[in-house]
Amino acid sequence: MFVDSSTEKMIARYHFFSKYSAVLTTFIGFAVCIGWIFDIGILKSISSNWVTMKLNTALCLMFLGLTLLLLLNKKPSLVVYSLLWVPIAISSLTLSEYWLDLDLFLDQFFVKETLNSADSAFPGRMSHLTALDILLCSLSLLCFKTIRSNTKVWLTQVLAILVFLSSLDSLFVYAYGVSPLDGIAHYTQNALHTSVTFLVLSIGIFLIKPNVGLASVLTLDSIGGKLARRLLPMATFIPPVLGYLVLQGQHLGFYGSDFQLVIMVTLFILIYSTSLWKTALSLHKIQKNYVFSNQQNQKLLSTNKHLKTMSSYDFLTGLPNRNYCHHLLEHAINRAKRKNTSISILFADIDNFKNINDNFGHEVGDRLLIEVGKRLRLGLRESDILARIGGDEFIIIVEDPVDIKNIETVAKRVNDTLKAPVNINEHILCVTISLGISFFPQDGDNMQILIKNADIAMYHAKKSGKNSHQLYMSEERKSK
């Protein structure tokens, strides 16, 4: 599939971010593991009043980040995918503990943790939401082993979007200072750096194959791609920022909860109207550039067509020129060989044309050539080819002429078209032509020989009194 340079650059940027997210996830997981081993509080939790990232969570994130990094830097293998079974096993067992009310002694298998007021009622156990996010990330990465078709990569990307939304929800809890959903399905709050890591990791997974599936719209160098890259960040980050500002205004006592809704609606209208206006201007500019580019292409095509016409047709009469005539004759010979048929070449030369040029001037001579070309065309079938090969010389190609008698009838009809005098600038000119005729394959099996022999026959016609036609007399025809 052809990919232009701008799309390649966008794909490269998305791949870089995906690698960056894999490295960052691995680093954070490793740092938190160090924090638990050496009891470094700031690595386990950003603040002493906030939830800690559990050791099991850190291990899973480290394995997920390492798997993503290996997938981006080498061909997926069984060894790479085997790393996923660690987070899959830990998250599945943790969810079983929540759903089946079990204690599998997994929570404090490596280190002991005292109960923190900000944490769940199970010391050392990752939250229900964290376990679910780890499982979704593991399954999304595992899809690259089980799903080979690019058309089904959307499943991986959908799972990554679910993790992204889940991590956004957890970050909103911290940003807005609200209480998490304590009573729903054993929901417990994620650690802040856990939520940030899941946010970055989910985007990295989504962009593993940015030119395929749901992500492909972001790499398109089209109006749709530009629109997605402009509006998607705004739709993702502007509403949370507005929500935070409006909520802070309410906490500071600037307005009540009812007026808060009015401000939110007004700000949304202002922001999205402005973005729509800017997008419309950008699309208009793109369309203008497209129209201009299309006009340039049309001019280029027209110029190319004109150049092709100039290279293939005689500028004076508009008939095929020498080169194009040779090309057409070659094709006619090839067709005759395939069909086992014949071709007749009529080489025509205007009698006494030099005298007309000398006596009346080249302008009259040129107009005479144009008129002769028109009249010769009238004496031929639509399928016959008429070309001017230079000076006062014309070639007529008649495919499948049946027999000599038939082609002589054609020659007589062509001569008859010039019987009527030609009036040019009040000069009455009587014009005749001499014709030489050769046949394929009797008089030659290639273009050069056929034209040469027709030319020889034409000179015999001139010697015999002009205004006539002569067949090329091959040895075979002379013996008859």
In tens, the pLDDT along 363-379 reads: 999 999 999 999 999 99
Q: How far lies 32's CA from each of 73, 78, 133, in Å?
A: 25, 27, 18
* Among 392, 416, 445, 455, the one annotated catalytic: 392
- 13 belongs to a structural domain: yes
Q: Report pLDDT for 306.
A: 59
Domain presence at residue 345: yes
| Residue 68 confidence (pLDDT) | 93
Q: Indicate the pLDDT class of residue 455, thresholds 50, 70 and 90.
A: very high
Note whether 138 and 227 are same-domain residues: no
> Which tops the pLDDT comparison, 2 or 417?
417
Whether residue 268 is found in the same domain as residue 344: no
The answer on 42 and 17 residing in a single domain is: yes
Does residue 184 carry a pLDDT above 60? no
150 with 227, same domain? no
- One-letter-per-residue 3-state SS of 432-446: CEEEEEEEECCCCCC
Together in a domain, 205 and 89:
yes
343 and 271 within one domain = no
Residues 450 and 335 in one domain: yes
**Is there a domain that residue 355 lies in?**
yes
Is residue 344, in this structure, part of any structural domain at all? yes
pLDDT confidence of residue 290: 63
To the query of whether residue 4 is one of the catalytic residues in this protein, the response is no
Q: Tell me: pLDDT of 1 over 50.
A: no
pLDDT, tens digit (0-9, with 9 covering 90-100), for 261-292:
677 777 777 776 777 677 767 766 766 666 65
Domain membership flag for residue 156: yes
CA distance between the termini of the chain? 65
pLDDT in tens, 141-157: 988 765 555 656 788 89
- Is position 306 within any domain? yes
**Of 444, 449, 452, 447, which is closest to residue 476 (Cα–Cα)?**
444
Domain assignment of residue 69, given as a range: 5-221
Residue 265's SS3 state is helix
Tell which of 221, 248, 274 closes a domain. Answer: 221
Q: Domain check: are 301 and 326 in the same one?
A: no
Same domain, 106 and 254: no
Q: Are 73 and 203 in the same domain?
A: yes
Q: Write the CA distances from 297 to 285, 289, 291, 308, 309, integer angstroms.
A: 18, 12, 10, 16, 18
Report the distance separating Cα 430 and Cα 467, nearest Å.
Answer: 11
**Does the residue 69 lie in any domain?**
yes
Beta pairing class for 469-471 and 385-390: unpaired
Q: Are residues 331 and 393 in the same domain?
A: yes
Residues 174 and 240 in one domain: no
